[in-house]
Amino acid sequence: MRRNRPKPDQPVQVAQEQQEKGEEEPKVDDKDAAVAKPGEDTATAKPGEEPIAAEAEPDEQVEYPARYVTLGSADPASPYRMLVTLTARGAAVVRTELNSPRYPDIEDRSGYLGHLIVDSDVAQSECVVQVVGPGTPAEKAGIEPGDVITSLGGEPVTNPRLLHAALAFTKPGQTVPIEVQRAGKTLTLQAVLGRRPIEVIQPEGDDPLSFLVTLHQIDDTMLPDLDPEKYADVRKDKNEEIVPRDPLVNAELDGVTLREANWELVSATDEEAVFRRKSQGFEITKTFRLAKASNEGAADPDFPAYHLRLIVSVRNAGQQARKVAYQLDGPTGLPTEGDWYANKVGPGWGLYGLRDVLISLNEIPPGKSGTKRCADISADRLGTLLQSEQDRLTYIGVDAQYFSSILIPQREADQGVWFSRSHPIRVGPYEKKNQVLTNTSCRLVSVPTNLAPGEEIIHAYDVFTGPKRPPLLQQYGLRDSVSYGWFWWVAIPMQHVLHFFEAYVVFNYGLAIVMLTVLVRSCMFPISRKQALGAQKMQELQPELKAISEKYKKDPEALRHAQQELFRKHNYNPLSGCLPVFLQLPIFIGLYRALMVDVELRGASLLGAGVRWCSNLAAPDMLFYWGSFWDRIGWETFNSGRGMFALGPYFNVLPLVTIALFIVQQKMFMPPPADEQARMQQKMMTFMMVFMGLIFFKVASGLCIYFIASSLWGVAERQLLPKKKEAEGTAAAPATPKPDPRRSSSAQKPGGRASQKKRRR
Choose the weakest-confidence range: 84-88, 100-104, 459-463, 669-673: 669-673
Q: Is the dihedral of CA 8, 11, 14, 18 positive or negative?
A: negative
Q: Which domain holds residue 324?
A: 2-108+199-483
Confidence of residue 582 (pLDDT cuts 50, 70, 90): confident
Q: Are residues 584 and 699 in the same domain?
A: yes
Residue among 7, 12, 8, 9 at smallest CA distance from 265: 12
Please check the confidence at residue 210 and state whether its pLDDT lies above 70.
yes
Q: Are residues 174 and 271 in the same domain?
A: no
Q: Are residues 222 and 289 in the same domain?
A: yes
Please check the confidence at residue 331 and state whether its pLDDT lies above 50.
yes
Q: Which residues contact 310 (CB under 8 A, 6 or more apart)?
A: 211, 286, 287, 288, 407, 460, 461, 462, 463
Q: Are residues 139 and 221 in the same domain?
A: no
Residue 520, pLDDT score: 87
Residue 229, pLDDT score: 52
Give the pLDDT confidence of 528-581 residue by residue, as tens digits.
Answer: 777 777 777 777 777 887 788 778 877 788 877 887 888 788 777 766 666 666
Hey, which residues does 89 pair with through a beta bridge?
Answer: 262
Q: Which residues contact 459 (CB under 8 A, 6 or more apart)?
A: 1, 311, 312, 313, 409, 418, 446
Between the CA of residue 662 and those of 533, 658, 699, what are the distances in Å? Answer: 19, 6, 16
The C-alpha atoms of residue 594 and residue 604 are separated, in whole angstroms, by: 13
Residue 685, pLDDT score: 79
Give the pLDDT confidence of 336-356 residue by residue, as tens digits.
Answer: 999 899 888 776 666 677 888
Q: Is residue 549 part of a domain?
A: no
Residue 122, pLDDT score: 64
Q: Is residue 696 part of a domain?
A: yes
- For the chain, give the mean pLDDT: 81
CA angle 266, 395, 264 (to 5 degrees): 10
Q: Last residue of some domain: 437, 467, 483?
A: 483
Please check the confidence at residue 672 and state whether its pLDDT lies above 50.
yes
Q: Are residues 353 and 219 in the same domain?
A: yes
The C-alpha atoms of residue 382 and residue 374 are separated, in whole angstroms, by: 7
Packing angle between helix 654-669 and helix 525-540, nearest 10 degrees?
A: 50
The C-alpha atoms of residue 329 and residue 445 are separated, in whole angstroms, by: 9
Q: Are residues 450 and 390 in the same domain?
A: yes
More confident call, 700 vs 54 = 700
Please check the confidence at residue 485 and state whether its pLDDT lies above 90.
no
Give the pLDDT confidence of 509-534 residue by residue, as tens digits.
Answer: 999 999 999 998 888 888 777 777 77
The C-alpha atoms of residue 427 and residue 446 are separated, in whole angstroms, by: 20
Number of domains in the chain: 3
Give the pLDDT confidence of 243-262 residue by residue, as tens digits.
Answer: 788 888 999 999 999 999 99
Q: Is residue 351 part of a domain?
A: yes
Mean pLDDT of 180-198: 96
CATH classification at residue 163: 2.30.42.10
Count the neighbouring beta carbons within 10 Å of the beta carbon of residue 465: 25
Mean pLDDT of 191-216: 96
Q: Are residues 501 and 604 in the same domain?
A: yes
CATH classification at residue 296: 2.70.98.90
The C-alpha atoms of residue 670 and residue 664 are separated, in whole angstroms, by: 10
More confident call, 728 vs 36 = 728
Q: Last residue of some domain: 171, 195, 219?
A: 195
Q: Last residue of some domain: 195, 222, 240?
A: 195
The C-alpha atoms of residue 24 and residue 46 are separated, in whole angstroms, by: 24
More confident call, 377 vs 360 = 360
Q: Are residues 217 and 292 in the same domain?
A: yes
**Beta strands 242-243 and 356-361: pairing type?**
unpaired
Q: Is residue 264 part of a domain?
A: yes
Q: Are residues 116 and 230 in the same domain?
A: no
Between the CA of residue 15 and those of 214, 266, 272, 278, 489, what are the distances in Å? Answer: 22, 8, 17, 12, 58
Amino acid sitting at position 659: I
Please check the confidence at residue 214 and state whether its pLDDT lies above 80.
yes
Q: Is residue 87 part of a domain?
A: yes
Please check the confidence at residue 203 and state whether its pLDDT lies above 50.
yes
Residue 47, pLDDT score: 44
Q: Is residue 759 part of a domain?
A: no
Q: Are residues 247 and 167 in the same domain?
A: no
Alpha helices in 598-740 (DSSP H): 627-632, 654-669, 676-696, 701-719, 726-731
Q: Is residue 560 part of a domain?
A: no
Give the pLDDT confidence of 407-436 residue by residue, as tens digits.
Answer: 999 988 777 889 988 888 889 888 877 877
Residue 608 falls in which region: left (phi positive, over 0), alpha (psi -120 to 50) or beta: left
Count the neighbouring beta carbons within 10 Å of the beta carbon of residue 17: 11
Q: Is residue 66 part of a domain?
A: yes
Between the CA of residue 329 and those of 326, 332, 358, what are the distances in Å? Answer: 10, 9, 14
Confidence of residue 641 (pLDDT cuts 50, 70, 90): confident
The pTM assigned to this predicted structure is: 0.82
Percent share of the chain, pLDDT over 70: 78
Between the CA of residue 736 and those of 45, 415, 600, 741, 743, what are the distances in Å? Answer: 102, 97, 68, 15, 17
Please check the confidence at residue 81 and state whether its pLDDT lies above 90.
yes
Q: Are residues 169 and 223 in the same domain?
A: no
Count the neighbouring beta carbons within 10 Å of the beta carbon of residue 642: 16
Q: Are residues 190 and 211 in the same domain?
A: no
